[in-house]
Structure 1
């Protein structure tokens, strides 16, 4: 288990989910990841923070019945100035959908969209620094943008956050790692026509688990479903799953932790 310190601007620092059935969703993730919950800022409706050993790892909010937004995990990228970053996003071809606004004394945030249509957030921390612990079961461990091709959208993220990029040199793999001060923080994966038509370009959050096979079975037992069954990958053993409202995420036992 690693506790987080201050997040460098551009680093994924939080993940949040907006759903219609907050109680059911809390029950699902509580059973799957061992999360407990405490109240969070309420500006946009009921909102709770998920905790592991008392440390914050993610947020879940409630959508009103008349808001038919896509149900999806949204990563937040750290910034020292949410207003300036929001203006940079606009000037680089993105859009700002919500904010910037203050989340009580926790910080200042905005929900934005990149030029390819992927939704993400920006977070200027105050009292709430973001995800406080990494590397153990139930914590977010990685974020990857799935898009048609990485070249144009990669330039957007470089311009906004100053990432260094490390591309895989391959004729059949369009994959770019985003780095800050030489440290990998996220990735872009161009999948061409394999991009799901019903989702478009989107960010995928990876959550660490002890046993992806057991966790995938538990997802089904809790009312979710398996999108792609467990398999071995360069990042570790992983599966793509969805919660009862359809939010898709990846569960992984990272290769760095070794086999179970």
Structure 2
């Protein structure tokens, strides 16, 4: 288990989920990942932070009745200035739907949509630094944008966050890895006509000790297995959904 000490601008630094049933969702992820919960900022409604060994991992909030928000895991990308980044997002063809606004003393945030329609957040930290621990069961390990094709939207993320883009050269595989200071931090995966019905979206991967066992638990807890356990370049993974339909990937990384 490793602790995070600093988030370079553009690095995925937090993942958050908005749902209708906050208590039931806490029960699901608490059982699946061993998370405990503490209160978080309430600017967008009731919100809790998930903890492992007292360290913050992710956030879950209740969808306000006045807002139409997707039930989906949303990655937040670090920024030193949420207002400047929000303006850059707009100037590059994206949309800022929420904020920028202060989350109490925790920091400043905005929720945006890229030109392809995928929702993501930006986070300017203050008291809350973002995800504080990685590399153990129940922690986010990777974020990947699922999109029809990568070239157009890749230029957007490169312009907004200054990523170095590395393409996987293949006749039948459209994949871009986003790097900061030579380190891969996220990826864009072009799937063409195989795009799911929910459209372009960011997919969060969570580390698990045993992919088969975690997939079995998902079903026992009222979720679904959408793609059964399989081997991938990053390890043994499966695509699953929680009881409200939020889709995520569980993976036992190759390093385990």
| Partner SS for 1:18 | strand
Matched with 1:171 is: 171
Deviations 1:190-233 (A, max 9, x none): 00000012x11100000000001000000000000000000011
| Partner SS for 1:179 | strand
| Partner SS for 2:93 | coil
Unaligned runs of 5+ in 2: none
Matched with 1:233 is: 232
Matched with 2:200 is: 201
Give the number of aligned pairs.
256
Matched with 1:137 is: 137
Matched with 2:56 is: 56
- The answer to whether the 8 Å contact 2:44/2:64 transfers is no
Structure 1 segment 125-164 matched on structure 2, within 5 A:
125-164=125-164
- Give the Cα–Cα distance (whole angstroms) in 1 for the partners of residues 171 and 9 of structure 2: 32
Deviation at 1:63, TM superposition (A): 1.1
| Partner SS for 1:50 | strand
Q: Using structure 1 for the length normalisation, give the TM-score.
A: 0.97
Matched with 2:71 is: 71
Deviations 1:32-51 (A, max 9, x none): 00000000000110000000
- Give the Cα–Cα distance (whole angstroms) in 2 for the partners of residues 64 and 9 of structure 1: 29
Q: Indicate the RMSD between aligned Cα atoms, in angstroms.
A: 0.7
- Give the Cα–Cα distance (whole angstroms) in 2 for the partners of residues 103 and 78 of structure 1: 15
Deviation at 1:66, TM superposition (A): 5.6
Matched with 1:216 is: 215
- The answer to whether the 8 Å contact 2:146/2:195 transfers is yes
| Partner SS for 1:215 | helix
Matched with 2:120 is: 120
- The answer to whether the 8 Å contact 1:20/1:65 transfers is no
- Give the Cα–Cα distance (whole angstroms) in 2 for the partners of residues 164 and 215 of structure 1: 34
Deviation at 1:64, TM superposition (A): 3.1
- 1:8 is the counterpart of 2:46: no
Matched with 2:19 is: 19
- Give the Cα–Cα distance (whole angstroms) in 1 for the partners of residues 208 and 73 of structure 2: 17
- Give the Cα–Cα distance (whole angstroms) in 1 for the partners of residues 173 and 154 of structure 2: 15
| Partner SS for 1:116 | coil
- Give the Cα–Cα distance (whole angstroms) in 1 for the partners of residues 41 and 64 of structure 2: 16
Deviation at 1:68, TM superposition (A): 4.2
- Give the Cα–Cα distance (whole angstroms) in 1 for the partners of residues 166 and 159 of structure 2: 15
Range with bigger deviation, 63-72 or 106-115 = 63-72
Structure 1 segment 90-109 matched on structure 2, within 5 A:
90-109=90-109
Deviation at 1:70, TM superposition (A): 1.8
- The answer to whether the 8 Å contact 1:140/1:206 transfers is yes
Matched with 1:247 is: 246
- Give the Cα–Cα distance (whole angstroms) in 2 for the partners of residues 29 and 192 of structure 1: 32
Q: Using structure 2 for the length normalisation, give the TM-score.
A: 0.99
Deviations 1:165-191 (A, max 9, x none): 111110000001000000000000000
* Distance 1:90-1:66 versus aligned 2 partners, 3 A rule: closer
- Give the Cα–Cα distance (whole angstroms) in 1 for the partners of residues 199 and 238 of structure 2: 20
* Distance 1:87-1:67 versus aligned 2 partners, 3 A rule: closer
